[in-house]
Chain A
């Protein structure tokens, strides 16, 4: 018997037993659906993290000198060690900047939530950042209105501010904010620029910020005297970045008077090190995303095996007839194996469709991005086929081994 005949036979049987087939499919469908959905969301988050999130926060060939990592899953004891570390100061930054090569870009920054208000809106505490150095060039910030803060203004601490798109619409609704006054922590600043819209990350707006000079009064509100949150250094090349990291390490170890045996009491985060943290989470998510559907698939396989065993005993006489008129061992084996596999591939196909719908729905209703990976569709179908084959082998071989005389006598 040809494979095509076996497949046709399988579809015939499935058509006749629609309801039973549907229940049989359910396990595989659910398993594959969640496999596709979880993989899609993890993939979506992954590509988002790698392409957008980290690049927006840290940037290419850039590293960040901080007291402790910005993103981490630190343990209690690690935290206790971190909060005892000395903070980064303006003096540190100056010495580091002096040691860096000519082509290096650097910036210092400190942020906190500060009450902000304007004549057109009620006050609200939002993120305000005091900066110095090549901050705008490192962030690649583009302006949609007005201009950036000039180096002179940064040095002089002129009371001017660059604001994000969302701040502009909130505090200056339907108005041109340029030249207008924004009160940040009680001090008035003139808005000189609005940054181009950057969108959001996991539902967090990237357009909700106010930037002033680190020499302006804001600095006193976001950090105690002489302290900064961190320093960013950007090099033209990746190799340059690694060399610069060593330079910064030497300067900082010297300033913190560390003996050679002592570990660094500061961190230099690159986009890579932030991504490492993400990859750790991703690993766990993928494991969960594989184990949960796997359980559903095992249940699905058991259901299929059970249904196929019932089908074999229900159709014992049919098997006897087929054997009497010349069906060989492998004909009967193929018949039931193809039937089980067809069932589970159909279940998998429905699961793929539902999984795509599910992941798109999640992407639409939540900030989680979703990207359906083509390999996950192929994997879903293959897994479905595999489940069918595994679940079908035992019932099919039982059917194929039946003695035709005994089978013909069955009711």
Chain B
């Protein structure tokens, strides 16, 4: 049992399937959440103006994620999971609602403040890896530290350590095109972790990988979760989502269900 899993099954169980139950944990608007909650979103709404027509991608999502949790966000395409990921990842701000990350009210921040939050609090892992093609693995991993204002020597040391931790110590000077898909995703994970973020946010991390490599990468996530890293993974594949300890399912811009893995699996099978 991982420490994260123990907490989830405790009294403040966040895997709560009814809106009424979730309300209790999430609390009232405007109030800063307790320290144990790394993410609290209240009535998160995001509307897009598509040439005069208002598209409501998110229609009041309530979600609370505890430190050290391993959560999958699922949903078919058009369910709003990408929009939710952009909001959780501080790439976007909600049209309405509150988003608290690590005790900070992110939904009120401007672009530069969001950039700083992304740099310090969030580690992104993308489906398409999103490494800089002309830079070495080491330089790619170094990049968040460059924008974090870390001095060059320390930067290099920390980037090398991060690469080492994903088993790529000997690929430091390789460029992305000299690495396999699995290795590229490991570089991306190293880059995501190098700033010791509050949450690791993965968007379809195995979408571009074969099943063997996918298993490898999922293994990395599991180890990270076990070591106490908060992991949030967005996916549309149920078997990938099943690796997480908790699964949030979105549909039509709203939370359809929010369960522990066991319960989710039962429902999927039943």
Is residue A180 contacting chain B, with contact meaning CB distance below 8 A?
Answer: no
Most buried by A among B111, B112, B152, B195: B111
User: Of A320, A326, A404, which is within 8 A of B147 by CB?
Assistant: A326
User: Of A16, A320, A322, A404, which is within 8 A of B143 by CB?
Assistant: A322
- Residues in chain B near residue A1, CB distance under 8 A: 146-147, 149
Is residue B263 contacting chain A, with contact meaning CB distance below 8 A?
Answer: no
- Interface set, chain A 62-97, CB cutoff 8 A to B: none
Q: Nearest A residue to B191 by beta-carbon distance?
A: A325
* One of A22-30, A327-335, A360-368 at the interface: A327-335
Is residue B92 contacting chain A, with contact meaning CB distance below 8 A?
Answer: yes
Complex contact B148–A326 (CB within 8 A) = yes
Chain B, interface residues (CB within 8 Å), range = 20 to 34
Given A1-B147, A326-B120, A328-B147, the answer on whether A405 and B115 have CB atoms closer than 8 Å is no
Given A321-B132, A324-B89, A326-B144, the answer on whether A408 and B126 have CB atoms closer than 8 Å is yes
- Residues in chain A near residue B131, CB distance under 8 A: 321
Is residue A207 contacting chain B, with contact meaning CB distance below 8 A?
Answer: no
Complex contact A325–B86 (CB within 8 A) = no
Is residue A318 contacting chain B, with contact meaning CB distance below 8 A?
Answer: yes
Q: Nearest B residue to A331 by beta-carbon distance?
A: B147
Is residue A5 contacting chain B, with contact meaning CB distance below 8 A?
Answer: yes
Closest chain-A Cβ to B122's Cβ sits at a distance in Å of: 9
- Residues in chain A near residue B191, CB distance under 8 A: 325
Closest chain-B Cβ to A135's Cβ sits at a distance in Å of: 75
- Interface set, chain A 270-329, CB cutoff 8 A to B: 317-318, 320-329
Is residue A121 contacting chain B, with contact meaning CB distance below 8 A?
Answer: no
- Residues in chain A near residue B157, CB distance under 8 A: none
A320 to B86: give the CA distance in the assembly, Å: 13
Q: Nearest A residue to B131 by beta-carbon distance?
A: A321
Given A1-B147, A331-B147, A405-B86, the answer on whether A326 and B118 have CB atoms closer than 8 Å is yes
User: Of A321, A326, A405, which is within 8 A of B92 by CB?
Assistant: A405
Is residue B221 contacting chain A, with contact meaning CB distance below 8 A?
Answer: no
A320 to B130: give the CA distance in the assembly, Å: 9
Q: Nearest A residue to B117 by beta-carbon distance?
A: A326
- Residues in chain A near residue B135, CB distance under 8 A: 12
Given A5-B146, A405-B92, A408-B126, the answer on whether A327 and B115 have CB atoms closer than 8 Å is yes
- Residues in chain A near residue B195, CB distance under 8 A: 326
User: Of A318, A324, A328, which is within 8 A of B116 by CB?
Assistant: A328
- Interface set, chain B 110-128, CB cutoff 8 A to A: 111-112, 115-116, 118-120, 124, 126
Given A12-B134, A318-B132, the answer on whether A324 and B147 have CB atoms closer than 8 Å is no
Closest chain-A Cβ to B133's Cβ sits at a distance in Å of: 8
1/0 per residue, CB under 8 A from B, across A323-357: the answer is 11111111100000000000000000000000000
Q: Nearest A residue to B151 by beta-carbon distance?
A: A2
- Interface set, chain A 158-208, CB cutoff 8 A to B: none
Given A1-B149, A405-B86, A405-B92, the answer on whether A324 and B143 have CB atoms closer than 8 Å is no
Complex contact B115–A326 (CB within 8 A) = yes
Complex contact B91–A405 (CB within 8 A) = yes
Complex contact A321–B130 (CB within 8 A) = yes
Q: Is the interface of A mostly helix, strand, loop or mixed?
A: helix
Q: Nearest A residue to B134 by beta-carbon distance?
A: A16
- Interface set, chain B 41-97, CB cutoff 8 A to A: 86, 89, 91-92
Closest chain-A Cβ to B162's Cβ sits at a distance in Å of: 13
Closest chain-B Cβ to A57's Cβ sits at a distance in Å of: 64
- Residues in chain B near residue A321, CB distance under 8 A: 130-132
- Residues in chain B near residue A325, CB distance under 8 A: 118-119, 124, 143-144, 147, 191
1/0 per residue, CB under 8 A from B, across A6-33: the answer is 0000001100100000000000000000
- Interface set, chain B 196-240, CB cutoff 8 A to A: none
User: Of B89, B134, B147, which is within 8 A of A327 by CB?
Assistant: B147
Given A329-B111, A405-B86, the answer on whether A322 and B147 have CB atoms closer than 8 Å is yes
A384 to B229: give the CA distance in the assembly, Å: 50
A321 to B184: give the CA distance in the assembly, Å: 15
A320 to B92: give the CA distance in the assembly, Å: 13
A13 to B143: give the CA distance in the assembly, Å: 15
Closest chain-B Cβ to A334's Cβ sits at a distance in Å of: 11
Given A16-B134, A329-B111, the answer on whether A324 and B146 have CB atoms closer than 8 Å is no
Closest chain-B Cβ to A99's Cβ sits at a distance in Å of: 82
- Residues in chain A near residue B143, CB distance under 8 A: 322, 325
A408 to B89: give the CA distance in the assembly, Å: 13
Given A1-B149, A12-B134, A318-B132, the answer on whether A324 and B112 have CB atoms closer than 8 Å is no
Closest chain-B Cβ to A19's Cβ sits at a distance in Å of: 15
A13 to B139: give the CA distance in the assembly, Å: 14
A331 to B146: give the CA distance in the assembly, Å: 10
A5 to B126: give the CA distance in the assembly, Å: 25
Q: Nearest A residue to B155 by beta-carbon distance?
A: A5
- Residues in chain B near residue A2, CB distance under 8 A: 149
Q: Nearest B residue to A317 by beta-carbon distance?
A: B130
Q: A326-B195, A328-B112, A329-B112 are in contact. List 5 more A-B contacts (CB 8 A).
A: A322-B143, A324-B130, A325-B118, A405-B92, A408-B91
Among all A-B residue pairs, the 7 with the closest Cβ atoms:
A326-B119, A326-B147, A328-B115, A325-B144, A328-B112, A321-B130, A326-B118
Q: Which chain B residues have a beta carbon within 8 Å of chain A's beta carbons?
A: 86, 89, 91-92, 111-112, 115-116, 118-120, 124, 126, 130-132, 134-135, 143-144, 146-149, 152, 191, 195
- Could you give 16 example pairs across A and B, Cβ below 8 Å? A1-B146, A1-B149, A16-B134, A321-B131, A322-B143, A323-B115, A324-B91, A325-B143, A325-B144, A326-B115, A326-B148, A328-B112, A329-B111, A331-B115, A408-B91, A408-B126
